[in-house]
Amino acid sequence: MAAIWIFSFLLLGTAVLAVAVGGWLFLKRPLAVLAWGTRRSLAASGLKKITVPTAIGPQTAFVGGAGPLLVLIHGAGDHAGTWAAAAKDLVKDHTLLIPDLAGHGESAPPTGPVEAAQVYAGLEAVLASQAQGRPVTLVGNSLGAWMAMVLARRQPELVARVIAVNGGPLPGSSTHVRLLPANRQEARETMAQLRDASSRPIPDYVLDDLVRTAKNGPLARFAATALSMGAWLLTEEQLRELGQPVRLVWGVADQLMPLDYAQRMLAVLPDAKLLPVERCGHVPQMEAPARFRAALRAALAD
């Protein structure tokens, strides 16, 4: 009987420890907890994690579903889990390919600066491994939209259409938004500029984690190569030559890539339409998932 009580006490102690550790992680590393949860959600939606060997190191992606291939490409500093809410809906009638861009999530390189050339090379390799020569639809947020349009120009036979979500390849995004905040107040200002004023405020412990990851996270590693990014931008004349249809799904509250940035692309792309998403900002798939899914469905059906 004593052994049973001792065993029960140990189980209770283990459970208490797990709760304590979980609580600490939630308060001190909320972004890691969010990443873990959203990536688990991708798996729960039926997507399988794969690893693709490439010249820049192994690249991670999630694949699953049935139907036409749809590639979802996240932004700088983010990872595949950002598409978790959208994937639950889209996987019903699409085969989804959701990569971690180079230097992000679980994709190489794990340390050091991340060049735009590496991001492009990793994306190109992952796409080639899964598309098998069939033209696909690319949905990209921020940096993902930039790379999607570069890919559409460089490899037009691989891309049937592009859906750009608050991002693109033109120079001229806002320079007053601090993407690498140094303290809680700067982080609060940054999030206010990236999100709609009506959205739920970001808790202080999350803002503190944003400051912590700003020092050496994937966004900082990508920003460290800013001087070499110009070679990967496109001009308005180059956009005029883009043959694929482009749909611009845009969170209208975004101050980093404001609506006039989308309108600049709209003015020169041969086949483009703007689908504004009200009351959300730079990452609508996370901030307003229901409204984003409706706009994305409209873009896919167009």
Question: Do 101 and 123 meet the contact criterion of CB atoms below 8 Å apart?
Answer: yes
- Whole-number pLDDT of residue 24: 54
* CB burial readout 109-127, b (16+ within 10 A) else e: eeeeebbbebbbbbbbbbb
Query: Which of these, 188, 178, 256, 282, lies nearest to 220 by C-alpha position?
Result: 178
Structure tokens at 171: 């120079």
- Whole-number pLDDT of residue 61: 98
First and final C-alpha spacing in the chain: 70
Question: Do 244 and 271 meet the contact criterion of CB atoms below 8 Å apart?
Answer: yes
Q: Would you call 224 helix, strand, or coil by DSSP?
A: coil
Question: Do 291 and 277 meet the contact criterion of CB atoms below 8 Å apart?
Answer: yes
Q: Which mean pLDDT values do the consecutive 10-residue runs of the chain (302 residues) have?
A: 42 39 72 98 98 98 96 98 97 97 98 98 97 94 98 96 98 86 97 97 97 96 96 97 98 97 98 98 98 97 89
| Cβ within 8 Å of residue 146, ≥6 positions away | 140, 167, 168, 169, 232
- Whole-number pLDDT of residue 132: 87
The enclosing domain of 123 has a CATH number of 3.40.50.1820
- Whole-number pLDDT of residue 221: 98
- C-alpha 169/C-alpha 172 separation (Å) is 9
Q: Which amino acid is at 188?
A: R
- Structural domain harbouring 103: 2-301
Domain count along the chain: 1
